[in-house]
Amino acid sequence: MDQVTEHTLAAARKVIAVHINYPSRAAQRGRTPEQPSYFLKPPSSLAHGSAEAPSVVERPAGCELLGFEGEVALIIGKPARRVGVEDAWSHVEWVTASNDLGVYDLRYADKGSNLRSKGGDGFTPIGPGLIPADAVDPAKLRIRTWHNGDLVQDDTTADLLFPFARLIADLSQLLTLEEGDIILTGTPAGASVAKPGDVVEVEVSTTTGATGGAELTTGRLVTRVEEGTTAFADFGAQPMADDVQREEAYGSRAAAGLAPVEGAAVGRVLPPELKAKLESVCTATLSSQLRKRGLNNVSIDGLTSTRPEKRIVGLARTLRFVPNREDLFKTHGGGFNAQKKAIDSVNEGEILVMEARGEKGTGTIGDILALRAQVRGAAAIITDGGVRDFSAVAAMDMPTYYANPHPAVLGRRHIPWDTDITIACGGTTVQPGDIIVADADGILVIPPALADELADESIIQEREEVFIAEMVAQGHSVDGLYPLNATWRMKYEAWEAGKAND
* E strand or H helix at 97: strand 92-99
460 labeled binding residue: no
Q: What number of residues does the chain have? A: 502
For the chain, the first-to-last Cα distance in angstroms comes to: 63
Do 368 and 393 contact (CB within 8 A), yes or no? Answer: no
DSSP conformation letters of 382-408: EESSEESSHHHHHTSSS-EEESEE---
Do 155 and 143 contact (CB within 8 A), yes or no? Answer: yes
CA distance 405 to 387: 5
479 labeled binding residue: no
367 labeled binding residue: yes
369 labeled binding residue: yes
Do 365 and 382 contact (CB within 8 A), yes or no? Answer: no
439 labeled binding residue: no
Do 72 and 157 contact (CB within 8 A), yes or no? Answer: yes
The SS3 of residue 115 is helix
Q: Is 213 exposed, middle or buried (0-12, 13-18, 19+ CB in 10 A)?
A: exposed
171-174, Cβ contacts within 8 angstroms, sequence gap of 24 or more = 171/16, 171/38, 171/80, 172/80, 172/81, 172/82, 172/83, 172/88, 172/91, 173/82
* E strand or H helix at 243: helix 243-250
CA distance 374 to 20: 15
DSSP 379: S
Closest CA to 76 of 62, 59, 88, 86: 88
The one-letter code for the residue type at 78 is K
Query: Helix 367-375 and helix 338-345: axis angle, to 10°?
Result: 30
CB atoms closer than 10 angstroms to residue 254? 11
CA distance 125 to 55: 7
CA distance 464 to 275: 22
Q: Cα 263 to the chain's mean position, in Å? A: 21
CA distance 24 to 30: 10
| Residues in the annotated binding site for Mg(2+) | 389
| Residues in the annotated binding site for substrate | 366-369, 388
| Residues in the annotated binding site | 366-369, 388-389
